[in-house]
Amino acid sequence: MNERGTSKAAGSQEPIMIALAGQPNVGKSTVLNMLTGLRQHVGNWPGKTIEKKTGIYHHNGTSIQIVDLPGTYSLTANSLEERIARDFIIKEKPDVVVAIADASALERNLYLIAELLSLPAPVVLGLNMMDVAEQQGMHIEPHVLEAALGLPVVPMVASKNQGVHELMDAVMRMARNPASYNPNRPAIEKDQQALVDSIQALIANEVESPYSEAWASTKLLEGDQEITAIVSDCLPPEKWEQLHEILMSHEDAGLTIASSRYQWIGRMVRAAVIRPGVGQVTFTDRADQVVTHPFWGLLILLGMLGSVFWLTFTIGQPLQEVLDTFLVQAGAQWVRSSLSGAPDWLSGLLADGIIGGAGMVATFLPILAIFFAALSFLEDIGYMARAAFIVDRLMHLMGLHGKSFLPLFLGFGCNVPAVMGARIIDSPRARLLTILVAPLVPCAGRMAVLAVLAPIFFGEYATLVSWALVGLNLSIIVLVGVFLHKVVLRSERGAFIMELPLYHMPNFRTIGLSIWQNLVAFLEKAGTIIILVSVVIWALSTFPHGNIETSYLAQLGRLLVPAGRLMGLGWKTMVALLTSFIAKENTIATLGVLYGAGKIHGDLSVIMGTVLAPAAALSFLAMQMLFIPCVATVAIIRQETASWRWTAFSVGLLLVISFAAGITIYQIAALVGWGM
Amino acid sequence: MRRKKRHHDSIMPKKRYSWMRLGDLPSGRKGIVRRLRGGGALTSRLTAMGISLGAELVVVQNFGQGPIIIKVRNTRVALGRGEAAHIRVEAIDE
């Protein structure tokens, strides 16, 4: 810290780096958005699937790099987020840590500050949501709190851009003169101090830097898993035995340390909070009487989801069609006509391979934009936590958190936002589990295929068959969820403790940014994979003779005939399934081409209806509903899990499930006498 | 030793043992957190969210089954019934 102090003397224009810390729901991202807007870089923390946002802000000629730490309630390594946050402060040594606190829940928020003060970086406190505190009848004196804590305290209303500039002024002053930082750190009680001292003596000179021994000793007493693991690695066995004994006989030390922190907090806020504002019945209290009610809350949730789908189908789908007609088809047409002299393969590659792929990426955008708008709107106003609360009981079974419900439900529209939407889930395991079951949710593309083919095969029973197949998908989701939870991931279902934040007006800047960042992420990563795969599939279905019936894809389909025979399916239907990898809707078009029908309706129905026996048709539809995710979903799974292994696992899992279901259904149906 | 004591909590007549499970405190009632169990990971999460020994809380929603909602340190917290069973509170009479 001292070297930092000298290197960044007053008046120098040297860039500085700050970390933005705070508990969840305190408006931390609003502060970041106010400061950096679109100049944000969204990535992942190294080796983790947790989002890392950084941004550059220029303050009076100085460039400030802002690193947004994950929102955490404390800094004990119970979760990946907490570990990331504290490791960043300890190892990357930001010039200043900016802690954002919710003024209306000051005591709880200061708990994180109490922990931050024991780390070696100067802290500046942004006291956000001052307006909310006032509305609740509280009155807080920032200056008194500043004097008590011994660090700069800046009152703010970040959503109205009040105090953000002043906060950065305070940050600059601190960065230029870190020697002035002398906070009032939470003291440990006397009997606890002796305990900490005895531990510190044991680990002295044994613990690897960058952790300070005093800090590590406290964390050991708090039962911190990461520090305990590190110390047990570093310590010679006999000392570890001694230490272990001390820790075992003081199992409740963590509670005592926490209590002493709250006592310290009590002393800090006693003078600063002039009116505590008790007993006020707020809007949130009144709204929650209905919104979190087991029955009415469920109705509201269904209404919300219904509206999201209504929006998608009234705005998103027409837009998607317009894009498809005027961008993709027109583009392909234009390429074909302007390349009329060129070889067939070239115009085919450009029109079908590249523009086809790029067009598909583009046509995803309206639907994704609507989904992300809805997701971040519900998150921003504070509703998401309530939705999770309402459905938690249902999701319990699969080892999933209530928050998994929303992304999965979105999957009925399209699996791509379902997988991306899993970002809202805090626990990495639960997020992975959600991503793995998401492709089993029947998306609009598959439902469209079902809607066309079921009447062709089953006439008046089409609706019944369709419902049965959707039901099959949903039951398999539950089965696979339980299986993955219990056998593969062996995930402990995280304890259900969740803050229900105050409701507040939506911040359209935050929502807009969230849509933008998600769309850019989709275009950058998934987009390129989709175009590549589209070109490959085009090549497979065209070469060597420019005819799909003799193409490599068809040969691949013929290879699958032995497996297909178990389901009563020939190579044409297998190829149709393969092409659904590009987009689920392709199944119909491929069947149309292979069965020589010019139009989907009419001809196809006559031919198909006679080609497949009911047992085979049923197994084909089941396969279609359960087959490997489309390329866009696969690309997004790769993006979100940051792992090819889990992506391959997901594809393999669905492959196995779909074949198993297809074979089982055909064999049973044939047994019952629905076969030829 | 300790485990035995916990077992007899509900039937011991002495006032000292009148602490109850948070899940048994009905909607609208207030209580003071007296004991936290369930292991270090759980208790450290609870305390970080404001549910520490001595903290005063009020039950906002408790339908007798399913998760409950409490308000503690001016924060609404939803808790699973299992988690709530690890929190012993002293009911405060109004």
Q: What is A560-598 written as a DSSP string?
A: THHHHHTTT--HHHHHHHHHTTT-TTHHHHHHHHHTT-S
Beta strands B75-79 and B68-72, pairing class: antiparallel
Alpha helix ranges (H) inside A235-338: 237-249, 253-272, 283-291, 296-311, 317-323, 330-338
Any idea how long chain B is? 94
Q: From CA A623, how far away is CA A142, in angstroms rounded?
A: 63
Query: B44 and A225 in contact by Cβ < 8 A?
Result: no
Of A650 and A78, the one with more pLDDT: A650
The whole-number pLDDT of residue A54 equals 94
Residue B44 C-alpha, separation from nearest chain A C-alpha, in angstroms: 7
Q: What stretches of A70-115 adopt beta strand conformation (E)?
A: 96-102
Q: Any idea which residue has 């993955």 for tokens?
A: A484
CA distance A216 to A371: 44
Q: Across the interface, do B40 and A223 touch by the CB < 8 Å criterion?
A: yes
pLDDT score of A372: 82
Average pLDDT of the segment spanning B64-85: 91
Residue A604 has pLDDT above 80, yes or no: no
Q: Which helix (H) or strand (E) holds A316?
A: none
Mean pLDDT to the nearest integer, A269-275? 85
Residue in this structure with the two tokens 């500043």, named with its chain if needed:
A146
Question: Smallest CA–CA separation between B12 and chain A, in Å?
Answer: 24
Exposed e or buried b per residue across A541-552, where buried means at least 16 C-beta atoms within 10 angstroms of its C-beta: bbeeeeebeebe
Residue A75 pLDDT exceeds 90: yes
- Pick from A286-300, A400-414, A596-610 the range whose average pLDDT is largest: A286-300
| Residue A524 at interface with chain B, using a CB cutoff of 8 Å | no
Q: What is the pLDDT of residue A144?
A: 95
Distance from B37 to chain A by nearest Cα, in Å?
9
Q: Which residues of A touch B73 (CB under 8 A)?
A: 105, 107-108
Backbone φ/ψ region at A426: left (φ over 0), alpha (ψ -120 to 50), beta: alpha
Range of lowest pLDDT (A157-161, A278-282, A361-365): A278-282
Residues of A in contact with B61 (CB under 8 A): 288, 292
Chain A interface includes B46 (CB < 8 A)? yes
CB atoms < 10 A from the CB of A335, how many?
Answer: 20
Q: Residue A115: which pLDDT band, with cuts at 50, 70 and 90?
A: very high
**A486 at interface of B, judged by CB pairs closer than 8 A:** no
pLDDT band at B8 (very low <50, low <70, confident <90, very high): very low
pLDDT in tens, A406-448: 788 878 878 888 898 887 777 778 889 999 999 999 887 787 7
Pairing of strands A123-128, A96-102: parallel
Asked if B55 reaches chain A (Cβ–Cβ under 8 Å), the answer is yes
**Is B77 at the interface with chain A, CB within 8 A?**
yes
H or E element that contains A279: none
Q: What is the DSSP letter of A56?
A: E
Per-window interface: A 115-144 vs B, CB < 8 A: 136
Q: What is the pLDDT of residues A480-505, one digit of tens each?
A: 988 888 887 776 656 788 899 999 88
Of chain A, the percentage scoring pLDDT greater than 90 comes to 33
* Cβ distance of B45 and A222 shorter than 8 Å: no
The arithmetic mean of pLDDT across residues B10-16, rounded, is 47
What's the pLDDT score for residue A606? 62
Q: Is A427 on the interface with B (CB under 8 A)?
A: no
Q: Taking a C-beta distance cutoff of 8 angstroms, is the pair A629, A580 a contact?
A: no
Interface check for B54 against chain A (CB to CB < 8 A): the answer is yes
Asked whether residue B29 carries a pLDDT value surpassing 60, the answer given is yes
CB contact under 8 A, A258 and B48: yes
Tokens of A329: 């088809």
Return the residue of B nearest to A285 by Cα.
B60
pLDDT at residue A290 above 80?
yes
Q: How many angstroms separate the CA atoms of A346 and A339, rounded?
A: 8
CB contact under 8 A, A78 and B44: yes
Spatial CB neighbours of A437, under 8 Å, sequence gap ≥ 6:
A398, A408, A477, A480, A481, A484
Q: Which value does ipTM take for this structure?
A: 0.84
The per-residue pLDDT for A494 is 65
Cross-chain residue pair A285–B55, CB shorter than 8 Å: no
Rounded Cα distance between B25 and B30, Å, is: 8
Give residue A600's pLDDT. 42
At A358 the pLDDT is: 80
pLDDT average, residue stretch A644-659: 94
> Which of A:370-389 have CB within 8 Å of B?
385, 389
Average pLDDT, chain A: 85
Give strand pairing partners of A56. Answer: A65
**Cβ neighbours of residue B59 closer than 8 Å, sequence gap 6 or more:** B22, B25, B26, B27, B28, B29, B30, B31, B68, B69, B70
Instruction: Name the 3-class secondary structure at B68.
Output: strand
The beta-carbon neighbor of B44 closest among A254, A498, A499 is A254
pLDDT at A299: 92
Radius of gyration of chain B (CA): 13
A572/A127: higher pLDDT:
A127
Q: Does A254 touch chain B (CB under 8 A)?
A: yes
pLDDT over threshold 60, residue A672: yes
Tens of pLDDT, residue by residue over A572-598, are 888 888 888 877 877 877 777 777 544
In whole angstroms, what separates CA A238 from the centre of its chain?
A: 44
- Altogether, the residues listed in chain A come to a count of 676
Instruction: Look at A496 and B67 and tell me if their CB atoms are within 8 Å.
Output: yes
pLDDT over threshold 80, residue A44: no
Residue of B nearest to A132 (CA): B74
**CB–CB contact A108 B50 (8 Å):** yes
Q: Which two tokens stand for residue A300?
A: 């509201």
The answer to whether A383 and A304 have CB atoms below 8 angstroms apart is yes
Q: What count of Cα atoms within 13 Å lies in the side-chain half-sphere of residue A181?
A: 29
* Cβ contact A259–B54 (<8 Å): yes
Q: Which of A88-102, A371-385, A556-570, A584-598 has the highest mean pLDDT?
A: A88-102
Q: What is the DSSP letter of A156?
A: -
Phi, psi of A425 (to 5 degrees): -85, 130
Q: Does residue A110 carry a pLDDT above 90? A: yes
Has residue A602 got a pLDDT over 70?
no
What are the angstrom distances between the C-alpha of A7 and each of A1, A62, A64? 10, 15, 16
| Mean pLDDT to the nearest integer, A210-233 | 88
Q: Looking at residue B12, what is its pLDDT?
A: 44
Instruction: Return the axis-axis angle of helices A552-559 and A571-579, rounded to nearest 10°.
Output: 120
Mean pLDDT of A463-476: 88
Nearest to A387 by CA among A347, A435, A425, A357: A425
pLDDT the model gives residue A599 = 42
* Phi and psi torsions of A211, nearest 5°: -80, 135
Contact call for B44 and A393, based on CB within 8 A: no
The conformation of residue A125, written as its DSSP 8-state character, comes to E
Tell me the pairing of strands A123-128 and A153-155: parallel
Our CA dihedral for A388, A389, A391, A392, rounded to 10 degrees, sits at 100
- The model's pTM is 0.81
Which chain B residues are Cβ-neighbours of A284 within 8 angstroms? Answer: 76
Q: Kindly tell me if the per-residue pLDDT of A291 is higher than 90.
A: yes
Q: How many beta-carbon pairs below 8 A join chains A and B?
A: 115
**Cross-chain residue pair A223–B44, CB shorter than 8 Å:** yes
Cβ pair B46:A254 closer than 8 A? no
A329 touches chain B (CB under 8 A): no
In this structure, what token pair is assigned to residue A675? Answer: 């076969």
B/e letters for A454-463, b = 16+ CB within 10 Å, e = fewer, are: bbbbbeeebe
pLDDT tens digits along A223-249: 888 888 888 888 888 889 999 999 988
The Cα–Cα gap between A576 and A570 comes to: 10
| Tokens 């791509």 -> residue | A416
Residue B16 scores a pLDDT above 60: no
Residues of chain A positioned with their CB less than 8 A from the CB of B53: 255, 258-259
Among residues A376, A370, A361, the alpha carbon closest in space to that of A314 is found at A370
pLDDT, tens digit, 9 for 90 and up, residues B79-90: 988 899 999 999
Q: What is the DSSP letter of A155?
A: E
* Among B36, B49, B73, beta carbon nearest to A497: B49
Name the pLDDT band for A22 (thresholds 50, 70, 90): very high
Q: What is the CA radius of gyration of chain A?
A: 29
Predicted confidence band of residue B9 (pLDDT cuts 50, 70, 90): very low
Confidence band for A308, pLDDT divided at 50, 70 and 90: confident
**For the ranges A28-32, A443-447, A566-570, which has the lowest average pLDDT?**
A443-447
Query: Between the ranges A111-115, A321-325, A586-590, A663-667, where is the mean pLDDT highest?
Result: A111-115
Percentage of residues of chain A with pLDDT beyond 70 = 92
**pLDDT at residue B11 is higher than 80:** no
Contacts by residues A166-169 (CB-CB < 8 Å, ≥ 24 positions apart): A167/A31, A167/A98, A167/A124, A167/A126, A168/A35, A168/A57, A168/A59, A168/A64, A169/A59
- What is the separation of C-alpha A300 from the centre of its chain, rounded to a whole number of angstroms? 23
Amino acid at A321: E
Q: Which of A83, A390, A498 to mutate to test the interface with B (most CBs of B within 10 A)?
A: A498
Residues in chain B with CB shorter than 8 Å from the CB of A105 are 50, 73-75
Show residues of chain B in contact with A500, CB under 8 Å. 69, 76-78
Q: What is the pLDDT, as a whole number, of residue A9?
A: 46
Residues 6 or more apart whose Cβ sits within 8 Å of residue A118: A185, A186, A214, A215, A218
Chain B CB contacts of A80 below 8 Å: none
Pairing of strands A40-44, A96-102: unpaired
With cut-offs at 50, 70 and 90, classify the pLDDT of residue A279: low
Between B59 and B8, residue with greater pLDDT: B59
Higher pLDDT pick, B18 / A664: A664
Residue of B nearest to A496 (CA): B80
Distance CA A543, CA B37 (A): 67
> pLDDT tier at B26 (50, 70, 90 boundaries)?
very high
Quick one: tokens of A338?
A: 């302007």
Nearest to B78 among A223, A251, A500 (CB): A500
